[in-house]
Amino acid sequence: MNLESHRFDAPSTRTISQHDPATLESLGSVSAMSEEEVRDRVRRGREAQHAWARTSFRERRQVLQAILDHIVAHQEEICRAAVRDSGKTMVDAALGEIFPVCEKIRYVIDHGEADLAPETRRSGFLAHKRARVEYHPLGVVGVICPWNFPFHNIFCPVVPALFAGNAVVAKVSEWSSSSAAGYLEIVHDALRRFGHSTDLVQILTGYGETGAALVRSGVETVFFTGSPENGRRVMATASESLTPVVLELGGKDAMVICDDANIDHAVDQALLGVYTACGQMCVGAERIYVFDAVYDEFVRRVHERVRAFRQGPPLEKLVDVGAMTMPRQIEIVLELVADAKAKGARVLIGGKRNPRYDGQFVEPTILVDVDHTMRITQEEQFGPVMVVVRVRDEEEAVRLANDCPYGLGSSVFTRDAVRGRRIANQLRAGMTVVNDYGLAYMIQSLPFGGVGRSGFGRINGREGLRACCYTKAHVEDRIPMGRGVGVYPVHPETFDLVRQVVQIIYGSGLGTRLRGIVGAAESFVSIARARLRS
């Protein structure tokens, strides 16, 4: 399958130009879809979902397996399309686009049915009843994707939503739309192969108003990934129709490197956490707190490694760091670096645009002597900047790591397992990994999400699958009891009967309960006689 040969129809009069951020080469254009077009896509998805909701989990696994097989067979093609759209390197695309999507599909195929199976619950004092919780598909799931991982950001929500029995309408970012049609065809090809409607998964292109139209379109829920500012807009719009939302609003992850850490390993993981995808990751290691005893050695080693980094257009030559996807993000990164410098931070390397290329490149950067008066410790920079903070001990590391409005991921490096667990337990974040970077996302049984400004709700694991469902309580007879409880007409003894039953069930001590039984029997007899007389 040639991904480049697939383009969206453009019924809209407005178009959005696309370009390769590394070379500024034109990648054509996509349409800016209108509210009418959005509603039509949602309507078509809803019609297709009725039949899809009746399919078995086995049938849904067939579709996911076909998608997985295609991804494995076409990795290079998928990665090249992502590189053209986003500016990342081929290795970044393999690690950040292919690997997590394959693992997500594998997890859902192997465990999705069990995660969505009805759960038996205790029925309390109603022992004659069976109680369970069921998970039913919502209908149409709306998704608003960011620009940093063009392939992954489509498939990450599509896989669980589709497996849970939903249709999906996803709006991709206007900054990375050129690859979306080819990626969508992977899903459509699998659906067609097994006789299902391709309207089950649809892609929208456009600006912010297209995303707002999706939120207003009547979808049953919205999964949004992006900035806190845009997350607030999504919430405000969703509140008009009481549409629930799951918000993943980025992070400013802390990495704590203790004085007993394996420094070689910590350096490798810090470089991975900072410079993968040119730093454009919600779980990027944006704040590195290094104990005083190993600070100088850590800084020396990362400086030596970053000095050797190669940067340039990733499809033209072998490079370590690619380009920035969105022009405005370059300005944000350079503003934050300038603020830090003005307040006393030192730039060991980088800190500016790469003058050798016309594309959207920021040099790999290391900032040291950073403190919490600087904006770069509080605001998401989303770029290739390593921010290093010297700390005295555990207490200061934890205090500073938690001194931030974001709380998505975090990591701790130490040879002492007890110490690692102790520090991890104190970090206010949705995820903590000890002695590695970012692996919580790759363990697909774990929920992914944050606290504070990083948003709310969870993706991945059973929590992510169940977020694509509505939860239903189901009660049925274990032992049929005939008429059940009858209250009307109310008799003078009715309240006493209820009071005595409460005493029987909840009273403390055998004597209290026996008195309740005697009183309840007397009240029951009185009510029965009154009913016979009537």
Contact yes or no for 382/332 (Cβ under 8 A)? yes
Residue 152: exposure state from Cβ atoms within 10 A (0-12, 13-18, ≥19) = buried
Give the mean pLDDT of 258-271: 98
Type of residue numbered 21 = P
Report pLDDT digits (tens) over 111-121.
999 999 999 99
Per-residue model confidence as pLDDT tens digits over 77-107: 999 999 999 999 999 999 999 999 999 999 9
Q: φ and ψ at 160, to 5 degrees?
A: -70, -35
pLDDT of residue 529: 86
Task: Extract the runs of DSSP E, i.e. beta strands, from 375-525.
Answer: 385-391, 406-407, 410-413, 433-434, 451-452, 455-456, 469-477
Burial of 304 (0-12, 13-18, 19+ CB in 10 A): exposed
Q: For the segment 387-404, what is each residue's pLDDT rounded down to a tens digit?
A: 999 999 999 999 999 999
Indicate if the pLDDT at residue 11 is higher than 60: no
- Average pLDDT over every residue of 264-290: 97
The three-state DSSP-derived secondary structure of 350-362 is CCCECCCCCCCCE
CB 260 within 8 A of CB 236: no
Which tokens is 496 given? Answer: 């006493």
Cis peptide before 157 (omega within 30 of 0): no
Q: Which of 37, 185, 220, 248 is catalytic?
A: 248
* Greater pLDDT, 157 or 9: 157
Q: What is the pLDDT of residue 13?
A: 65
Confidence of residue 441 (pLDDT cuts 50, 70, 90): very high
Element (H, E) at 499: helix 494-506
Q: How many whole angstroms separate alpha carbon 307 and alpha carbon 44?
A: 53
pLDDT at residue 5 greater than cutoff 80: no
Query: What pLDDT, in 10s, does the model give residues 129-183?
Result: 999 999 999 999 999 999 999 999 999 999 999 999 999 999 999 999 999 999 9
C-alpha–C-alpha distance, residues 53 and 525, integer Å: 51
Q: Crossing angle of helices 75-86/180-193, nearest 10°? A: 150
What is the rounded distance in angstroms from the CA atom of residue 328 to the CA atom of residue 312? 19
Query: Is residue 10 scored above 70 in pLDDT?
Result: no
Average pLDDT for the chain: 95
Q: Which of 20-24, 65-69, 467-471, 497-501 has the least mean pLDDT?
A: 497-501
Question: Residue 22: its pLDDT value, please?
Answer: 97
pLDDT at 292: 98
SS3 at position 379: coil
pLDDT tens for each residue of 291-340: 999 999 999 999 999 999 999 999 999 999 999 999 999 999 999 999 99
Is 248 one of the annotated active-site residues of the chain? yes
The pLDDT assigned to 492 comes to 87
Please choose, from the candidates 71, 154, 142, 149, the residue with its C-alpha nearest in 3D space to the C-alpha of residue 109: 71
Of the candidates 113, 112, 130, the one whose C-alpha atom is nearest the C-alpha of residue 121 is 130
Q: How confident is the model at residue 528 (pLDDT cuts 50, 70, 90)?
A: confident
Q: What's the pLDDT at 67?
A: 98
High-pLDDT (> 90) share of the chain, %: 91
Which residue, 380, 315, 311, 369, is CA-closest to 341? Answer: 369
DSSP state of 321: B
Give the CB-side neighbour count of residue 229, counting CA atoms within 13 A: 3
- 87 dihedral zone (left: phi>0; alpha: psi -120 to 50; beta): left
Taking only the tens place, the pLDDT of each residue in 221-242 is 999 999 999 999 999 999 999 9
**Choice among 79, 145, 156, 282 that is catalytic:** 282
User: So what's the pLDDT on residue 474?
Assistant: 97
- Cβ neighbours, 10 Å, residue 315: 18
pLDDT tens digits along 26-64:
999 999 999 999 999 999 999 999 999 999 999 999 999
524 confidence band (pLDDT: 50, 70, 90): confident
pLDDT attached to residue 8: 60
Q: Can 282 be counted among the known catalytic residues? A: yes
Cβ–Cβ under 8 Å, residues 216 and 210: no
CA distance 368 to 386: 8
